Chains A and B, each alone.
Chain A
Amino acid sequence: MHESFLAYRKFLYLKLGVGLIVLSIGAYALHEPPHGPNGGTWLGYTLGTIGAGLILWLLFYGIRKRQYHSKLGQVSGWLSGHVYLGSALLVVATLHCGFKFGWNVHTLSYVLMIMVIVSGAYGIFTYVRYPTLLTDNKGGMAIDAMLSEIGDLDRQCLQIAAEMGDKAHQMILRSIERTSFGTTSWRDALGGVSKGLEDLGREIKSIAGDAEPPAPLPAAIPQIGGEATVFFVADQLAGFRDSARAALGHRLLDLITSKKALVIRVQRDIVYRKLLKSWLSLHLPLSIALLAALTVHVVTVFFYW
């Protein structure tokens, strides 16, 4: 029922891209210009025009994607073309220049193009890989639900820790305060969820409330998943002699472990979402740079013939 952009209309654009490559290579093989293949021959111009046209069309994708009223087909079709014809550009442009490289603006355009294509290829990789991981990681649980569950677990941990004594209470409090889901920009990847995070932060502060402010730690404890807390509680547990305290310790350990698992899941969710987007911050500026370099390349070629 669903059709991936890679398979759009039975791989229509893959076929077109391959066709373009085959045609280009064929023409290149048959073509024997007097001074060897370069951008100045009739084939060089032809391939160059095709390449430049393609680049403009590929850039237009960024606009089409945001033209929500557009009647020009499905965006998934556009992306399909973007991917396959963009990849074909690799061959078209290489044959256009006839493997003539140098330290000039022409080769700069070429290099930028390669970088754009490579970053795009990485983008495809993320598009194929991370959507599935995201869903698997969530396991049917919404991020908001995970966050509120983390809040619940924190509350329970604090309660038990309070029964276990000051030291444990301090440790847990610190652990809760230091639970982090990444930097602000990572949080942005979560969109609306970041508000939930702020709320949680505030709530944790209010739980801590009147309790003594935790003494500054001598050194930062790595808090990825709160291993330090787990070790601390496990350590304590080993030292417990009476069964009631041991039972408390066991429960605390269970709670911390569940929380740790949840925190890791939230963190992973953030990371995957970020990965799905971050490549664009390379792909896009490079594309703009390519457009600039390409403009210079075309202008210089025509004016300084």
Chain B
Amino acid sequence: MAERAYKIAVIGAGPAGLSAAARAAEVGVSHVLLEGAPHLSNTIYRYQKGKLVMAEPTVLPLRSTIDFEAGSRERVLSVWDEAAARLRVNVRHGAEVAVVGGTQGNFTVSLAGGEVVSAEFVVLATGLQGNLRKLGVPGENLPFVQYQLDDPDEYENETIVVVGAGDSAIENAVALSAHNKVIIINRRDDFDKAKEGNRTAIERAIQDSVIECLYNSAPVRAEAASDRNGKPGVLVVKTASGEVALDCDRVIARLGAMPPRKFVESCGIEFPNNDPNAVPAVSAQYESNVRGLYIIGALAGYPLIKQAMNQGYEVVEFIEGRAIEPADEPVLRDKFRAVVEIRSVSSALEVIKKNVPVLSGLTTLQLREFMLDSVIRAPKRGEILFELNDYSDTFFSIVRGGVDIHVDPNDASKHVALTKGDFFGEMSLISGRRRNATVTAGERCILIETPRRSMNKLINSVASVKRIIDDTFLRRAIQSQIAPELPAEALREVVASARIERFNAGKVLFKEGDPGDSLHLIRKGSVTVARDIGGRERVLSYVAAGNYVGEMALLTDSPRSATVRASIETETIRLDGTAFKALLSRWPDIQGKMQSKARDLLAGQSAKVQQSPEGAGDLISFLVNQGVGEATDVLLIDETLCVRCDHCEKACAETHGGTSRLDREAGPTFAFIHVPTSCRHCEHPHCMKDCPPDALRRAPNGEVIILDSCIGCGNCETNCPYGVIQMAVKEEPKPVNLLSWFLFGKGRAPGEEISGHHDAGAAKIATKCDMCKDLAGGPACVRACPTGAAIRVSPEQFLTVTRGTTLDRS
């Protein structure tokens, strides 16, 4: 029985489908919105209560008939419900679509109940969540196996096996572990795929034995238990040491979702390949290979809510025969205005793709998104882009013209030219450290400057970008650190032998007495150098990123003279010893330089061992254990001077809205050096890793700061391993009147904290040390210290036996 025909049938009432139907309703096109669930937007509806819905990417304008901005799940849903009612969107709940047949002008949409809806056009916006990935083993549909978890508090005192290592699996496991015994099954040996905060949470829970984890394991089969008195189910898991049977009350598998391929293919839509994650190919107007059948949202490969909503709007426009430019077009056009000759956005993107090899592997959509985050610059000749020792961390690609890298701060005539297609700034991006050279613009140059976060996102999602940047980094690091004066050709063999190695904190790069077969350039992180003295490993020095270790054994052809250990997560470029020795024998100058450097270093170290067999090295290990190794600037208090007056805290509170960002008393002390709870301004700030509004930034002077765009989600507070971020109510304290306070005890005492005086419901935002960037004269805590006990220093200043690079020496 065919119902009356609509012009557009939209399948799926998620953000994409709803937006499409809303636009159709707005312009008076006959439409129907078919939704299986009894409410709109089932995926978001099933979010945990109160969960924050993000509106990424921030720079992309929203173009939809209905509103959407970041907010709680409840708020977002109520706005949509209200809009759908107001616009009289013709929605049919409980309409499970079985198959779509026909073609443009004559589609028949058959519902599960046997009803048929006809339409001229069909918009498929089902997303992926309707098709959760299952265990893929026998018993995957048994009643005790589930693929969703709505409310973790529903279960108590159960044994629950969680399968998966992604964010939802971790969130479920951690939430369930409060009242249940939880075992998590991870196919791999780490949780690196998850967000930083979740990774830390699960690793901590496993370490504290709150959750049991089976690594390198996979389910083999699920069985209903035969023993009626025991647990209802058994999950048999294959582990590294054989099969184990886990008795459990339930199995919760969170393995993500995949395109409902069978259904999509049954509509006549083709997939580009056999990858189960592949999405159907669509035209620039979102039309599939079936004429009149459009696909938008996650099913078309655009998982973000805002993108999906924009597409919903646009698809109706396309169906109605109106040409419409992409929503981000005006923003991009504005950006390209810096470049006069470029007329249209699409031609500009073509030029970028053609001229910049590192970006040529991007799809147009990726490039658009990348450009939305980036800035186009057309600096004048000689303009400084960044200076040596700046803390900026943006990445530059050269679209036209060139730049000069001034390799020697003392000699302006020494510079290396980079031209069209090259990029620079990758050193600071990767190592998290200061700029290692000044760069000035050349004649008629056009650059793309990209912020750290967008660049990292790109590096992590596009393999070709990562490969190109890594290769270039490798070549440049070797050249600048070992032999800037040699031609690139001379280093070819060494470069070919190089590979990147990763070490977790505490892992050994090489041990004292090992044969010396390689040299390590530290590209990220830092290491400590220790020697066995009197049967105990004693730390002699701390070496930061941008330097090398392990040259001694190669130069002297002897075993390793010391043990080198990663003090934090560290990446090195390992150069093969044989190739390196060959290089040295060919270029005696380099050998001579390295030798004299090594000699100084050895002499310095043995002097150190003689002078203070105990103190200094132990202090280095202590500070490294306190995370000073990854700091760029840390507050250290000399307790022989500290009179415990707390003026540092008071100064901090007074200059920062009445909330002190430092806790002087807390934190450990060693050899009278106290490391208070205060921001270390890490090289790779943990707090930055998962900031939804990207409000955590590194300022040009190195301080890690929180912008006003903070939404108060608390991720940074959770992610900071040093506990230096507090959530506080933003409030300006009343000014202090010193006289009336002193004479009559009236008003607020100088430096008195105001936190704790407001209602529990007040909105909190993250606060942390900003190094008093807005105060002339530097950090207030240090300036307010009456005895000189408090200083802020970089670890190199405090720790390093200087191991300069060749660059420094020349």
Chains A and B bind each other: yes
Find out whether the CB atom of B788 lies under 8 angstroms from the CB atom of A76.
Answer: yes
B806 CB-CB contact with A under 8 Å? no
B640 CB-CB contact with A under 8 Å? yes
Hey, which chain A residues are within 8 Å of B263, CB to CB?
Answer: none
Hey, which chain B residues are within 8 Å of A8, CB to CB?
Answer: 788
Q: Specify which of A69, A71, A134, A135 is in contact with B654 (CB 8 Å cutoff).
A: A69
Hey, which chain B residues are within 8 Å of A5, CB to CB?
Answer: 641, 786-788
Q: Specify which of B642, B738, B750, B784 is in contact with A75 (CB 8 Å cutoff).
A: B784
A272 to chain B: closest residue by CB: B644
The chain A residues found within 8 Å of chain B, CB to CB, are 1-5, 7-8, 63, 65-71, 73-76, 78-79, 126-127, 130-132, 134-135, 138, 140, 142, 191-192, 273, 276-277
Give the complex CA separation of A222 and B43 in angstroms: 70
Find out whether the CB atom of A135 lies under 8 angstroms from the CB atom of B640.
Answer: yes
Find out whether the CB atom of A2 lies under 8 angstroms from the CB atom of B669.
Answer: no
B668 CB-CB contact with A under 8 Å? yes
Shortest distance between the CB of B801 and any CB in chain A (Å): 15
Give the complex CA separation of A134 and B670 in angstroms: 13
Find out whether the CB atom of A134 lies under 8 angstroms from the CB atom of B639.
Answer: yes
B778 to chain A: closest residue by CB: A74
Chain B 782-804, CB-CB to A under 8 Å as 1, else 0, gives: 11111111010100011000000
Find out whether the CB atom of B647 lies under 8 angstroms from the CB atom of A131.
Answer: no
B20 CB-CB contact with A under 8 Å? no
Given the known interface contacts A68-B654, A68-B751, the answer about A75 and B647 at a Cβ–Cβ threshold of 8 Å is yes
Given the known interface contacts A66-B738, A127-B643, A132-B672, the answer about A2 and B654 at a Cβ–Cβ threshold of 8 Å is no
Find out whether the CB atom of B786 lies under 8 angstroms from the CB atom of A75.
Answer: yes
Find out whether the CB atom of A75 lies under 8 angstroms from the CB atom of B783.
Answer: yes
Find out whether the CB atom of A131 lies under 8 angstroms from the CB atom of B642.
Answer: yes
B254 CB-CB contact with A under 8 Å? no
Find out whether the CB atom of B738 lies under 8 angstroms from the CB atom of A131.
Answer: no
Hey, which chain A residues are within 8 Å of B638, CB to CB?
Answer: 1-2
Find out whether the CB atom of A131 lies under 8 angstroms from the CB atom of B639.
Answer: yes
Give the complex CA separation of A116 and B639 in angstroms: 27
Instruction: Rank and list the top 7 A-B pairs by shortest CB-CB distance, nearest first.
Output: A2-B638, A76-B788, A66-B750, A68-B651, A68-B654, A135-B639, A79-B786
Find out whether the CB atom of A140 lies under 8 angstroms from the CB atom of B668.
Answer: yes
Chain B 759-789, CB-CB to A under 8 Å as 1, else 0, gives: 0000000000000000111001011111111
Give the complex CA separation of A126 and B783 in angstroms: 22
| Interface pairs (18), CB distance under 8 Å | A1-B791, A2-B641, A2-B789, A7-B788, A65-B786, A66-B751, A67-B738, A73-B777, A74-B782, A75-B786, A78-B786, A127-B787, A131-B644, A131-B789, A132-B639, A140-B670, A142-B665, A142-B666
Q: Which of B645, B672, B784, B787 has the most CB atoms of chain A within a 10 A radius of its CB?
A: B787
Give the complex CA separation of A140 and B668 in angstroms: 7
Find out whether the CB atom of B647 lies under 8 angstroms from the CB atom of A79.
Answer: no
Hey, which chain A residues are within 8 Å of B626, CB to CB?
Answer: none
Give the complex CA separation of A135 and B656 in angstroms: 29
Residues of B53-93 at the interface with A, using a CB-CB cut-off of 8 Å, are none
Chain B 128-161, CB-CB to A under 8 Å as 1, else 0, gives: 0000000000000000000000000000000000
Q: Specify which of A75, A140, A276 is in contact with B669 (CB 8 Å cutoff).
A: A140
B520 CB-CB contact with A under 8 Å? no
Find out whether the CB atom of A63 lies under 8 angstroms from the CB atom of B738.
Answer: yes
Q: Specify which of A68, A74, A140 is in contact with B750 (CB 8 Å cutoff).
A: A68
The chain B residues found within 8 Å of chain A, CB to CB, are 636, 638-647, 650-651, 654-655, 665-666, 668-670, 672, 674, 736, 738, 750-751, 775-777, 780, 782-789, 791, 793, 797-798
Find out whether the CB atom of B655 lies under 8 angstroms from the CB atom of A68.
Answer: yes
Hey, which chain A residues are within 8 Å of B787, CB to CB?
Answer: 4-5, 76, 79, 127
Find out whether the CB atom of B793 lies under 8 angstroms from the CB atom of A1.
Answer: yes
Give the complex CA separation of A8 and B791 in angstroms: 13
Q: Specify which of B645, B647, B672, B793 is in contact with A135 (CB 8 Å cutoff).
A: B672
Shortest distance between the CB of B229 and any CB in chain A (Å): 40
Find out whether the CB atom of B777 lies under 8 angstroms from the CB atom of A71.
Answer: yes
Give the complex CA separation of A276 and B789 in angstroms: 15
Hey, which chain A residues are within 8 Å of B665, CB to CB?
Answer: 142, 192
A7 to chain B: closest residue by CB: B788
Find out whether the CB atom of A276 lies under 8 angstroms from the CB atom of B636.
Answer: no
Find out whether the CB atom of B798 lies under 8 angstroms from the CB atom of A131.
Answer: no
Find out whether the CB atom of A68 lies under 8 angstroms from the CB atom of B786.
Answer: no
Q: Which of A63, A69, A192 has the most CB atoms of chain B within a 10 A radius of its CB?
A: A69
Hey, which chain A residues are within 8 Å of B668, CB to CB?
Answer: 140
Give the complex CA separation of A131 and B797 in angstroms: 25
Give the complex CA separation of A4 and B670 in angstroms: 19
B736 to chain A: closest residue by CB: A66
Give the complex CA separation of A276 and B643 in angstroms: 7
Find out whether the CB atom of A131 lies under 8 angstroms from the CB atom of B783.
Answer: no
Find out whether the CB atom of B786 lies under 8 angstroms from the CB atom of A134.
Answer: no
Q: Which of B643, B736, B751 has the most CB atoms of chain A within a 10 A radius of its CB?
A: B643
Q: Which of A68, A69, A134 has the most CB atoms of chain B within a 10 A radius of its CB?
A: A68
Shortest distance between the CB of B796 and any CB in chain A (Å): 12
Shortest distance between the CB of B792 and any CB in chain A (Å): 11
B646 to chain A: closest residue by CB: A191
Find out whether the CB atom of A69 lies under 8 angstroms from the CB atom of B655.
Answer: yes
Give the complex CA separation of A127 and B638 in angstroms: 13
Given the known interface contacts A1-B798, A79-B787, A127-B787, the answer about A69 and B647 at a Cβ–Cβ threshold of 8 Å is no
Shortest distance between the CB of B410 and any CB in chain A (Å): 27
Hey, which chain A residues are within 8 Å of B672, CB to CB?
Answer: 132, 135
Hey, which chain A residues are within 8 Å of B639, CB to CB?
Answer: 131-132, 134-135
Given the known interface contacts A68-B750, A140-B669, the answer about A131 and B643 at a Cβ–Cβ threshold of 8 Å is yes
A192 to chain B: closest residue by CB: B665
B798 to chain A: closest residue by CB: A1
Hey, which chain B residues are within 8 Å of A78, CB to CB?
Answer: 786
Shortest distance between the CB of B741 and any CB in chain A (Å): 9
Shortest distance between the CB of B341 and any CB in chain A (Å): 48
Give the complex CA separation of A269 and B107 in angstroms: 84
B787 to chain A: closest residue by CB: A5
Give the complex CA separation of A277 and B776 in angstroms: 30
Find out whether the CB atom of A2 lies under 8 angstroms from the CB atom of B750.
Answer: no
Given the known interface contacts A1-B791, A69-B775, the answer about A131 and B786 at a Cβ–Cβ threshold of 8 Å is no
Give the complex CA separation of A79 and B784 in angstroms: 11
Give the complex CA separation of A70 and B670 in angstroms: 32
Hey, which chain B residues are within 8 Å of A273, CB to CB?
Answer: 644
Extra contacts, 8 of them, besides A2-B789, A131-B644 (Cβ < 8 A), are A65-B647, A71-B776, A71-B777, A75-B783, A75-B786, A127-B787, A134-B639, A135-B674
Shortest distance between the CB of B772 and any CB in chain A (Å): 10
Give the complex CA separation of A250 and B587 in angstroms: 74
Give the complex CA separation of A65 and B654 in angstroms: 12
Hey, which chain B residues are within 8 Å of A140, CB to CB?
Answer: 668-670
Find out whether the CB atom of A131 lies under 8 angstroms from the CB atom of B640.
Answer: yes
Find out whether the CB atom of A4 lies under 8 angstroms from the CB atom of B641.
Answer: yes
Hey, which chain B residues are within 8 Å of A142, CB to CB?
Answer: 665-666
Give the complex CA separation of A66 and B641 in angstroms: 19
Given the known interface contacts A68-B651, A135-B672, A142-B665, the answer about A76 and B785 at a Cβ–Cβ threshold of 8 Å is yes
Given the known interface contacts A1-B636, A1-B791, A63-B738, the answer about A68 and B650 at a Cβ–Cβ threshold of 8 Å is yes
Hey, which chain B residues are within 8 Å of A2, CB to CB?
Answer: 636, 638, 641, 788-789, 791
Hey, which chain B residues are within 8 Å of A67, CB to CB?
Answer: 738, 750
Hey, which chain B residues are within 8 Å of A138, CB to CB?
Answer: 669
Give the complex CA separation of A7 and B654 in angstroms: 28
A63 to chain B: closest residue by CB: B738
Q: Which of A1, A130, A140, A191 has the most CB atoms of chain B within a 10 A radius of its CB?
A: A1
A72 to chain B: closest residue by CB: B777
Hey, which chain A residues are within 8 Å of B751, CB to CB?
Answer: 66, 68
Hey, which chain A residues are within 8 Å of B736, CB to CB?
Answer: 66
Hey, which chain B residues are within 8 Å of A130, CB to CB?
Answer: 643
Find out whether the CB atom of B644 lies under 8 angstroms from the CB atom of A276.
Answer: yes
Find out whether the CB atom of A131 lies under 8 angstroms from the CB atom of B641.
Answer: yes
A276 to chain B: closest residue by CB: B643
Shortest distance between the CB of B756 and any CB in chain A (Å): 12
Shortest distance between the CB of B546 and any CB in chain A (Å): 22
Hey, which chain A residues are within 8 Å of B791, CB to CB?
Answer: 1-2
Find out whether the CB atom of A68 lies under 8 angstroms from the CB atom of B780.
Answer: yes
